[in-house]
């Protein structure tokens, strides 16, 4: 085949058959490898087959907030030497008044990390959602005023249960007037399906896609225990999340950020379970992005 024939043939392919311009970075949420220190964390994550690490920088995390200035650059170097990236960190930061906020952002800039996950605001008894939005917006605005000085981007994680942001619309109220360079969504299809049921998760997905920064990957199903329905976290592909649809939308949007694998089910922290879920995620991503 001549070069001209090749160009003409590939140009004639349907759009779906064209390879994606970007692909997401497959990361392990380091919470699930908490038994490993930085160097071994990098070695094990590489051995299992990840591209990067979503590093916990919070109480009981791989990097403690009170030691972030000293330890974050060291931890990142130890992981990167195994050929992995650290595209994001998970923090518990919710307010600029947190004494760890400025040291964390300074250490992120020094380490070359641009994405961070914000902590959670819990629902207060008797407080309406709009009052909570106003209060939490003030807190987030202060945090973003600080972090954007370092060129960083915040990701807001939708978490089911008694949390502000269990419905993605809550977060929209906080960031609708904020530059996408400063803040976006850390979307969790699992939690969105818990809260969104039949079609609400699709509404949430449509809402977050234009400013999606990171995504948490976990699966669940509902089960009845002692007469009450409860969500039960499970291995990827064994639950209710429509991964084919989710990843197809990610590919269509050319999302190339971190996908952070979470394994919240019993036994999820052992390496065989991590490897199994990663292989499932890889297959879904390959099918959607090819």
CA 213 – CA 109 distance, rounded (Å)? 17
CATH of the domain at 241: 3.20.20.150
Identify the residue whose tokens are 């819990």.
122
Q: Are 25 and 252 in contact (CB under 8 A)?
A: no
Helix (H) or strand (E) holding 184: strand 183-187
Q: Give per-residue pLDDT as tens, 100-139.
A: 999 999 999 999 999 999 999 987 777 788 888 899 999 9
Q: How confident is the model at residue 7 (pLDDT cuts 50, 70, 90)?
A: very low
The total domain count for the chain is 1
Mean pLDDT for the chain?
Answer: 92
For residue 7, tell me if it sits in a domain: no
For residue 214, tell me if it sits in a domain: yes
For residue 9, tell me if it sits in a domain: no
Residue span of the structural domain in which 190 resides: 20-289
For residue 3, tell me if it sits in a domain: no
For residue 273, tell me if it sits in a domain: yes
CA 205 – CA 213 distance, rounded (Å)? 12
CA 218 – CA 243 distance, rounded (Å)? 10
pLDDT recorded at residue 20: 58
Rounded mean pLDDT of 6-23?
51
CA 88 – CA 156 distance, rounded (Å)? 13
For residue 168, tell me if it sits in a domain: yes
Calculate the CA 105 to chain-centre distance. Answer: 18
For residue 104, tell me if it sits in a domain: yes
For residue 283, tell me if it sits in a domain: yes
CA 174 – CA 53 distance, rounded (Å)? 28
Q: Give per-residue pLDDT as tens, 129-166.
A: 888 889 999 999 999 999 999 999 999 999 998 898 89
User: Whose CA is closest to 188, among 162, 209, 214?
Assistant: 214
CA 86 – CA 105 distance, rounded (Å)? 15
């Amino acid at each position: 085949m001549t070069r001209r024939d090749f160009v003409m043939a590939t140009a004639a392919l349907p759009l779906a058959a064209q390879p994606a311009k970007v692909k997401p970075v497959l990361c392990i949420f380091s919470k699930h490898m908490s038994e490993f220190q930085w160097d071994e964390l990098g070695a094990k994550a590489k051995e299992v087959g990840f591209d990067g690490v979503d590093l916990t920088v919070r109480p009981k995390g791989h990097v403690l907030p009170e030691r972030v200035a000293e330890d974050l650059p060291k931890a990142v170097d130890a992981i990167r030497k195994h050929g992995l990236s650290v595209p994001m960190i998970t923090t518990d930061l919710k307010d600029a008044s947190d004494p760890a906020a400025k040291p964390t952002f300074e250490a992120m800039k020094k380490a070359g990390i641009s994405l961070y996950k914000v902590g959670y605001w819990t629902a207060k008894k008797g407080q309406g959602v709009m009052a909570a939005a106003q209060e939490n917006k003030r807190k987030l605005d202060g945090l973003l005023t600080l972090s954007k000085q370092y060129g960083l981007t915040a990701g807001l994680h939708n978490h089911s249960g008694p949390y502000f942001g269990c419905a993605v619309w809550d977060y929209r109220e906080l960031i609708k007037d904020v530059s996408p360079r400063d803040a976006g969504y850390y979307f969790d299809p699992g939690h969105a399906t818990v809260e969104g049921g039949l079609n609400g998760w699709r509404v949430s997905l449509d809402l977050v896609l234009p400013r999606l920064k990171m995504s948490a990957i976990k699966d669940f199903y509902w089960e009845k225990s002692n007469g009450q329905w409860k969500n039960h976290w499970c291995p990827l592909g064994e639950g209710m999340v429509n991964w084919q649809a989710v990843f197809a939308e990610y590919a269509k949007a050319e999302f190339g950020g971190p996908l952070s694998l979470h394994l919240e089910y019993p036994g999820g922290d052992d390496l065989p379970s991590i490897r199994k879920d990663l292989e499932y995620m890889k297959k879904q991503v390959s099918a959607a992005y090819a």
